[in-house]
Amino acid sequence: MGFVTGNTNRQKLLEMLASKGELETSRIAKNMHLAQPSVKRLVEELMEKELVVENEGKCSLTELGTTIERKVQNL
């Protein structure tokens, strides 16, 4: 969980996917006011931890990602 709580952008990205469901990285970048390469890097980091998956250009939470996001919300 520290991996997520240690970076506000990771935390915001998980929250966004939890509330909005599948999103394209371009939409995430626009909503978070970040450059596309920054969002891609965040997504890759979260994919390495198996918190997010990307399918046909859209990102969504994994089951583990959903669990972690809920725990972070309850802190």
How confident is the model at residue 64, as a pLDDT?
A: 97
Kindly indicate the confidence band of residue 42, based on its pLDDT and cuts at 50, 70 and 90. very high
Query: Alpha carbon of 27 to those of 14, 19, 37, 41, 73: distances in Å?
Result: 14, 14, 13, 15, 23
DSSP 3-70: HHHT-HHHHHHHHHHHHH-SEEHHHHHHHHT--HHHHHHHHHHHHHTTSEEEETTEEEE-HHHHHHHH
pLDDT at 1 over 90: no
Contacts for 46 with CB less than 8 Å, ≥ 6 apart:
10, 13, 14, 52, 65
Q: Taking the model in full, what pTM does it have?
A: 0.93
CATH number of 2-70: 1.10.10.10
